[in-house]
């Protein structure tokens, strides 16, 4: 359009055949064509030799009567040219139009190229999206699949599961919980196996005695005195076995929480006096003195039967692990709203590295030492369960060779 106006201005200024030829010459080789007509629309000059080619796109050229520049055809998709008309008037007898033909081929080529680029960009983004989708779904689903496999393994009884750490989000927490569950189950399995092995061992020892001594007692020629002695051992071992089985059953009940604690209020001093009556003879037998310090008589909120079981177990240990002619002291006192009961002995004591384990089932310090005193390592496990059932706590202070003090707070 601007070029057409320029040509027109030049033509008005230097109207001559030469100028027209120059204008036509300027547009000869390029994407533009030019036609110069007179006022009737008859072609004076054309940049194309074959001017009919241009003429046919000029149906209205003869009819146009323009005062100003104007676009005659702008349909770049349908026509090979965008056509603009630029009227000129030098004087009354020299006027007409400069008609510019801008080829639409470069535009079409450009649009074609753009279309191709857009298409390519579209395809590329779809591919990229697909890759991201695949990566994301893998990233999200793989941990879930692993967790599913892990839980399936757990349900089949295989607790050897290892899930990688995948972060602190919800998925990570879930994975962590499954891992913890697997570890706990594995630990319980090991503990159970160890426990069963210990029970088997504990039961097999008295059984060996029973079988051995019964065989000896049955032998021909054994005198009555010896036979009586063997039978006594058999009776003693049977008692011990019965006690062990009873304790194990107690412990099993506690584990299942099937035992009940029925708390009531009762006075502490008379309660401990009764216990003293009960255990006094066995302490006397070992020449041990048992003292009770219960200065203030107040009430305790506990299950009397279970508390008695706790105290008897602790006194049994104090008796078993005390040296002869020493003192065992029970002290009862108020501790805030709760009651503290401490049982102190001057016995053989417990090595400090062993104290964390003495409340475990079937745990004994120096296995041989308990066997001679008849312990099986269940007493303190029962005590701990019973204290826990009272929402209480138990602590031990002990030094080897000096004695031990067990303190319960209920």
Ligand X SMILES: Nc1ncnc2c1ncn2[C@@H]1O[C@H](COP(=O)(O)OP(=O)(O)OP(=O)(O)O)[C@@H](O)[C@H]1O
Q: Which residues bind ligand X (CB under 6 A)?
A: 317-318, 320-321, 345, 347-350, 358, 363-365, 370, 375-381, 404
d(CA 410, CA 307): 10
- Contact status: 376 vs Mg ion (CB under 5 A): no
Comparison of 47 and 322: residue with beta carbon closer to ligand X? 322
- Contact status: 347 vs Mg ion (CB under 5 A): no
d(CA 8, CA 5): 5
- Contact status: 379 vs Mg ion (CB under 5 A): yes
Comparison of 54 and 387: residue with beta carbon closer to Mg ion? 387
Query: Which residue stretches of 156-294 are H helix?
Result: 170-218, 224-255, 268-285
d(CA 247, CA 84): 113
**Which phi and psi (to 5°) does residue 75 adopt?**
-80, 85
**Which phi and psi (to 5°) does residue 272 adopt?**
-75, -30
Count the helices and strands in the chain (H runs, E runs): 10, 12
d(CA 408, CA 221): 55
The upper half-sphere exposure of residue 314, i.e. CA atoms within 13 Å in the direction of its Cβ, equals 29
Closest CB 332 distance from ligand X, rounded Å = 18
Closest CB 259 distance from Mg ion, rounded Å = 19
Tell me which stretch binds Mg ion (CB under 5 A): 177-185, 270-278, 311-319, 364-372: 311-319
- Out of 45, 47, 175, 317, the residue judged to bind Mg ion by CB under 5 A: 317
Comparison of 37 and 317: residue with beta carbon closer to Mg ion? 317
Tell me which stretch binds Mg ion (CB under 5 A): 46-54, 80-88, 144-152, 371-379: 371-379
> Exposure pattern of 118-149 as b/e (b: 16+ CB <10 Å)?
eeeeeeeeeeeeeeeeeeeeeeeeebeebbee
| 288 binding partner (options Mg ion, ligand X, none; Cβ < 5 to 8 Å by kind) | none
Closest CB 377 distance from Mg ion, rounded Å = 8
| 241 binding partner (options ligand X, Mg ion, none; Cβ < 5 to 8 Å by kind) | none
Closest CB 193 distance from ligand X, rounded Å = 20
Closest CB 306 distance from ligand X, rounded Å = 16
Tell me which stretch binds Mg ion (CB under 5 A): 146-154, 204-212, 242-250, 310-318: 310-318
Closest CB 214 distance from ligand X, rounded Å = 24
Comparison of 47 and 404: residue with beta carbon closer to ligand X? 404
Closest CB 168 distance from Mg ion, rounded Å = 46
Comparison of 302 and 380: residue with beta carbon closer to ligand X? 380
| 300 binding partner (options ligand X, Mg ion, none; Cβ < 5 to 8 Å by kind) | none
| 4 binding partner (options Mg ion, ligand X, none; Cβ < 5 to 8 Å by kind) | none
d(CA 192, CA 184): 12
| 23 binding partner (options Mg ion, ligand X, none; Cβ < 5 to 8 Å by kind) | none
The residue among 154, 142, 405, 179 whose CA lies nearest residue 293 is 405
DSSP string, 109-144: HHHHHHHHHHHHHHHHHHHHHHHHHHHHHHHHHHHH
Closest CB 374 distance from ligand X, rounded Å = 7
Tell me which stretch binds Mg ion (CB under 5 A): 91-99, 141-149, 325-333, 376-384: 376-384
Long-range contacts of 307-310 (CB under 8 A, 24+ apart): 307/271, 307/386, 307/390, 307/410, 308/271, 308/275, 309/382, 309/383, 309/386, 310/383, 310/386, 310/387, 310/408
Site residues (vs Mg ion, CB under 5 A): 317, 379
């Amino acid at each position: 359009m601007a070029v057409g106006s320029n040509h027109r201005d030049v033509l008005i200024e230097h109207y001559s055949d030469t100028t027209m030829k120059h204008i036509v010459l300027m547009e000869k080789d390029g994407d533009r064509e030019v036609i110069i007509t007179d006022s009737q629309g008859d072609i004076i000059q054309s940049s194309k030799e074959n001017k009919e080619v241009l003429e046919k796109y000029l149906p209205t050229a003869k009819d146009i009567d323009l005062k100003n520049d104007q676009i005659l055809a702008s349909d770049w998709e349908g026509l090979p040219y965008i056509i603009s008309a630029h009227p000129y008037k030098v004087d009354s007898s020299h006027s007409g139009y400069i008609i510019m033909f801008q080829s639409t081929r470069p535009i079409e080529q450009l649009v074609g190229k753009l279309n191709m680029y857009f298409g390519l960009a579209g395809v590329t983004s779809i591919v990229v999206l697909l890759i991201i989708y695949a990566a994301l779904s893998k990233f999200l689903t793989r941990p879930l699949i692993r967790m599913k496999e892990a839980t399936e393994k757990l349900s089949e009884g295989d607790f050897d599961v290892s899930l990688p750490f995948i972060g602190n989000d919800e998925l990570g927490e879930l994975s962590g919980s499954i891992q913890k569950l697997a570890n706990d189950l594995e630990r319980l399995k090991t503990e159970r196996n160890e426990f069963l092995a210990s029970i088997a061992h504990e039961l097999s020892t008295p059984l060996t005695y029973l079988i051995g001594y019964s065989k000896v007692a049955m032998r021909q020629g054994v005198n009555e005195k010896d036979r009586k002695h063997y039978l006594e051992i058999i009776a003693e071992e049977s008692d011990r076995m019965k006690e062990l089985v009873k304790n194990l059953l107690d412990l099993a009940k506690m584990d299942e929480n099937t035992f009940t604690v029925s708390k009531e209020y009762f006075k502490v001093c008379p309660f401990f006096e009764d216990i003293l009556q009960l255990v006094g003879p066995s302490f006397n037998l070992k020449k041990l003195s048992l003292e009770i310090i219960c200065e203030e008589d107040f009430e305790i909120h506990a299950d009397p039967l279970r508390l008695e079981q706790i105290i008897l177990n602790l006194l049994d240990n104090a008796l078993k692990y005390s040296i002869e002619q020493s003192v065992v002291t029970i002290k009862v006192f108020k501790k805030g709203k709760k009651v503290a009961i401490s049982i102190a002995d001057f016995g053989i004591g417990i090595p400090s590295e062993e104290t964390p384990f003495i409340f475990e089932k079937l745990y004994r310090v120096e296995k041989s030492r308990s066997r001679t005193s008849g312990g099986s390592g269940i007493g303190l496990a029962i005590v701990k369960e019973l204290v826990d059932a009272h929402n209480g706590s138990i602590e031990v202070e002990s030094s080897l060779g000096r004695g031990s003090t067990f303190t319960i707070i209920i």
